[in-house]
Amino acid sequence: MKDEVVKNLAAVFHREFGYKPGFTARAPGRVNLIGEHTDYNGCPVLPMALEQCFTAVFAPRPAGAGNGSRVSVVNTDSRFPGLTFIAENPVPPYETGSWGNYVKAGVQTILSYGAAAGKDCQAGCGFEAVITSSLPAAAGLSSSSALVVLSGLMAMASLGLSVPKDTLAKLFADGERYVGTQGGGMDQAVCMLSEAGKALKIEFNPFSAEPVNMPRGYSVVVMDSTVKAEKTRAAMDRYNIRTIECRLGTAVLKAAFSRRYGREVKLGLLGDMTSQNLGIPEEEIIPFAVDALSDSAYSLSGAAALLGTGTGRLAEEYCRRRDGSVLPEPPGGFKLMQRVLHVLTEWKRVEDSVSFLSAGDAAGFGVLMNGSHESCRRLFEISCPELDTLIALALEEGALGARLTGAGFGGCAVALVMDGDLPAFLSAVGRRYYGEYLKRTDGNVSRFLFICRPGRGAGTSVL
Ligand code: GLA
């Protein structure tokens, strides 16, 4: 038996299902060091997997025995009631916001892959599992993607499929759209592909992943603002509006480029805005984009007129939710220039971060983290007063850099701190943010404020 957690899960499994589980699975959360809202634009990110993770013990349901495609999952956290469903392709989702949809997303991913590969999945990709998590939920540490990956890995093992890890990273990224978020591929890729002790630079255009050393003598501290970044419809809409703004911005830029140069440029993603693809010098790209886009917000009808299409058609093409309804136009309009400028500058900050970290220059990286937060706050507008306060306090207390991490709108921030400063840093931020600012009276803040080490990627093994 591997460790205490697995041993306890196995005992619960035995109590619930009356026999011993044969396998264990784990899938880590992540903290993004830099590169926010760049992934779905085809631009790179630099996250690291956490040691905090989802852990499961499970057993495939024997094919043919009753119902070989039945999935039953018990969560040790009683806020998430146990669930049972039939894994038949396609798996109908629970209502939006239900935690079970992340389990279904993982299972559906494997069912779709299996079906495309000509595997008879109906015979039984079912399993019984007990799962637990050491990750805070809705804190922006990607517990939801970890759950998708965990569930998919259990379905895969139950089917006896073997799929390369980088293929799985991409499959789970697409598969998670099942829950309704138009996410990029960062969370699933870092969860699948990380090496212990290293961060991971992930490129999406085309896909690749490369481990990056972290500088010695410094630690990454996660600081939970405690503002819940829930996966409700409203929160999904806010995230999805950013993806729409980036896609619309790209379309307007493509039209502007084509007009200016009298030729059609290939511009499907902001990540296509390379010197090579556009045929202009690197340093002209950002000024061109800023010049081509208005700094006033665009209405849907205004963007449609610019793109030579109808408002209804544009809404249909860009603003449809997964459930078929159309996302309403944001009251202040679509801020295309600001969103594009964030993504293009953030892309450069990721590239520079990799250079600084590889050279062991923690201070240089810290400056880029601060620049990233400023851009997330001012241009991408995904921060909130609590995150800004927490980050300002972290910098006052000696962090070399600090920024929000993940989708934003609440959740966690991340700071880089010199090892020797850690005890004073943790105690000062704990006292000033959680005690004085949030006025929490329970002195123990270790579940909100903790050091994290780069963990290893997800996997399954025989018990
Ligand atoms: C969420 C998404 C990721 C990424 C981040 C923002 O975590 O799941 O794909 O877009 O937000 O960087």
What does the pLDDT look like over 14-61, one tens digit per residue? Answer: 999 999 999 999 999 999 999 999 999 999 999 999 999 999 999 998
405 CA to centre of ligand 1 in angstroms: 9
Q: 234-338 is classed in which CATH architecture?
A: Up-down Bundle (1.20)
Distance, CA of 15 to CA of 2 (rounded, Å): 19
Q: Identify whether the C-beta of residue 44 lies closer than 8 Å to the C-beta of residue 95.
A: no
- pLDDT confidence of residue 444: 86
Topology of domain 2-212+458-462 in CATH is Ribosomal Protein S5; domain 2 (3.30.230)
The pTM (predicted TM-score) of the whole model is: 0.94
Q: What type of residue sits at position 439?
A: K
Q: Identify whether the C-beta of residue 39 lies closer than 8 Å to the C-beta of residue 170.
A: no
What does the pLDDT look like over 79-96, one tens digit per residue? Answer: 999 999 999 889 999 998
Parse the chain into domains and list their residue ranges.
Answer: 2-212+458-462, 234-338, 348-452
Q: Identify whether the C-beta of residue 357 lies closer than 8 Å to the C-beta of residue 211.
A: no
- pLDDT confidence of residue 66: 61
pLDDT, average across residues 360-387: 97
What does the pLDDT look like over 195-204, one tens digit per residue? Answer: 999 999 999 9
Q: Which of the listed residues 186, 204, 372 should we mutate to test ligand 1's pocket, taking the one with most ligand atoms within 8 A of CB?
A: 186
- pLDDT confidence of residue 1: 44
Specify the CATH number of the domain 348-452: 3.30.70.890
What does the pLDDT look like over 350-360, one tens digit per residue? Answer: 999 999 999 99
Distance, CA of 264 to CA of 283 (rounded, Å): 21
- pLDDT confidence of residue 150: 98
What residues does ligand 1 touch, defined as CB less than 6 Å away?
32, 36-37, 39-40, 142, 183-184, 186-187, 406-407
Rg (CA), the chain: 23
Residue 303: which of 262, 347, 335, 271 has the closest Cα?
A: 335
